[in-house]
Amino acid sequence: MKKVDYIIVGLGIAGISFCEQLQKHGKSFVVIDNGEEGSTAKSGGVFNPTVLKRFTAAWNASAFFPVAVDFYHRLSEKLQENIFVKTPILRIFKSIEEQNNWTVASDKWELQDFLSSKFSKSTNVAVEAPLGFGEVLGTAQILPEKLLISYRNYLKSLKVLLPEEFQYEIIQQKENTVVYKNISAKKIIFTEGSKVIDNPFFPKKAIIGNKGEYLIIKAPLLKLDVLLKGSMYVIPLGNDEYKVGATYSRDDYSIHITEIAKEEILVKVKSFINCPFELIGQTAGVRPTTKDHRPLLGSFEENPNLIFFNGLGSRGFLMAPLLSEILYNYVENDISIDKEMDIKRVIRWK
């Protein structure tokens, strides 16, 4: 029997962040991941502490932001891969009213570091922005594919990755241990993203799948090296290729691409990009969201050794590093989780 401190199920940004916590504290673990592409793989990788619809700070941004920036810098160094590329976001103004709202917002203490008080004009003829842009500072592009490939390789080099589907029905729970096949651990940390709905220990009502689709376009005349935010994001991928989107489809766990999403994205992107482009791909993934837009951390009384780290919604990259610290302190140091994030709150949900 192999003895470890933890078994982690699922290797997206939640699983990676928790592995990093365990390594930091010298704990042993194995990761079981089926290699399917989850939300992290399908995401846009935008690292943004603001809400650009309403010009507000994202929930808890001032706490999440510094921990996450430090985390991705350290991880890039450790993996010898630059997975965190500092890139500004330019938000296209739709009206004079929006410009005024931006100015007011940029003066608020929680946004001062993030919303530049100066507007910029468009010098790119391929971008329709007659009222110019507001620039978001401190933002970055996380390269999800690079991150996942290099982290998997890293775990393989440590011989702690089991590339297989986790079988929930064969877990054996003992008083202070959980046994899975030939592995005995103190606890299992479930980080399966929206696929957690297949986990029989997880209450299905706690998570809402929110499907998002992107188009991949090739636009040699666009020449964009920033994250552009019009009615959708345009995300540079290099080689004149861009990810554009994403759509939002609530209560949708399917991962096939759709014509409806394609049409929606094309109409929106053509409203602010006026150069020709070729459609070269389309992707779909499912965001693990919750009805109160807060994460789900911790365990239920009946199964204290089965721990959940989920509900990262549409801001997984910003939140996961600090949430992994909070969860680690809960499981190792018995420090309670804030009620707002504690998974036990879902017991009261209808």
Shortest gap between Cβ of 207 and ligand FAD (angstroms)?
Answer: 10
Piece of 200-208, 262-270, 272-280, 307-315 that binds ligand FAD (CB under 6 A): 307-315
Contact 320, 14 (CB under 8 A): yes
The verdict on 316 binding ligand FAD (CB under 6 A) reads yes
Distance CA 233, CA 268 (A): 10
Partners of 216 in the β-ladder: 243, 281
Longest dimension (CA), the chain: 67
The verdict on 342 binding ligand FAD (CB under 6 A) reads no
Which residue of 6, 12, 222, 244 would you call a contact of ligand FAD, by CB under 6 A? 12
Reported as type and span, the H/E element at residue 97 is: helix 96-106
The verdict on 33 binding ligand FAD (CB under 6 A) reads yes
Residue nearest to ligand FAD (CB): 12
Please, which residue, 20 or 33, has the CB nearer to ligand FAD? 33
Contact 303, 173 (CB under 8 A): yes
The verdict on 193 binding ligand FAD (CB under 6 A) reads yes
Q: Compute and round to an integer the Cα radius of gyration of the chain.
A: 21
Following CA atoms 46, 48, 54, 58 in sequence, which dihedral angle do they give, to the nearest 10 degrees? 130
The verdict on 87 binding ligand FAD (CB under 6 A) reads no
The verdict on 7 binding ligand FAD (CB under 6 A) reads no
**Can you spell out the DSSP letters for 34-80?**
-----HHHHS--EE-SEETTTTEEPTTHHHHHHHHHHHHHHHHHHHT
The verdict on 147 binding ligand FAD (CB under 6 A) reads no
In 3-state terms, what secondary structure has residue 166? coil
Partners of 84 in the β-ladder: 142
Contact 166, 285 (CB under 8 A): no
The verdict on 141 binding ligand FAD (CB under 6 A) reads no
The verdict on 39 binding ligand FAD (CB under 6 A) reads yes
Please, which residue, 32 or 222, has the CB nearer to ligand FAD? 32
The verdict on 207 binding ligand FAD (CB under 6 A) reads no
The verdict on 21 binding ligand FAD (CB under 6 A) reads no
Please, which residue, 43 or 60, has the CB nearer to ligand FAD? 43
Comparing CA positions, the residue from 147, 133, 55 lying closest to residue 89 is 133
Question: Which residues, 255 to 294, sit near ligand FAD by CB under 6 A?
Answer: 285-288
Structure tokens at 92: 């296209």
Please, which residue, 45 or 298, has the CB nearer to ligand FAD? 45
Please, which residue, 14 or 52, has the CB nearer to ligand FAD? 14
Distance CA 79, CA 154 (A): 7
In 3-state terms, what secondary structure has residue 177? coil
Q: For 209, how many CA atoms within 13 A lie in the half-sphere containing its CB?
A: 20
Which residue of 42, 187, 229, 294 would you call a contact of ligand FAD, by CB under 6 A? 42
Please, which residue, 312 or 331, has the CB nearer to ligand FAD? 312
Please, which residue, 92 or 211, has the CB nearer to ligand FAD? 211
The verdict on 32 binding ligand FAD (CB under 6 A) reads yes
The verdict on 187 binding ligand FAD (CB under 6 A) reads no
In 3-state terms, what secondary structure has residue 287? strand
Total residues at interface with ligand FAD (CB under 6 A): 40
Which residue of 21, 40, 60, 299 would you call a contact of ligand FAD, by CB under 6 A? 40
Which residue of 206, 312, 327, 346 would you call a contact of ligand FAD, by CB under 6 A? 312
Partners of 213 in the β-ladder: 284
Residues lying near ligand FAD in the complex (CB under 6 A) are found at: 9-15, 32-34, 36, 38-40, 42-46, 165-166, 191-193, 195, 212, 214, 246, 285-288, 310, 312-318
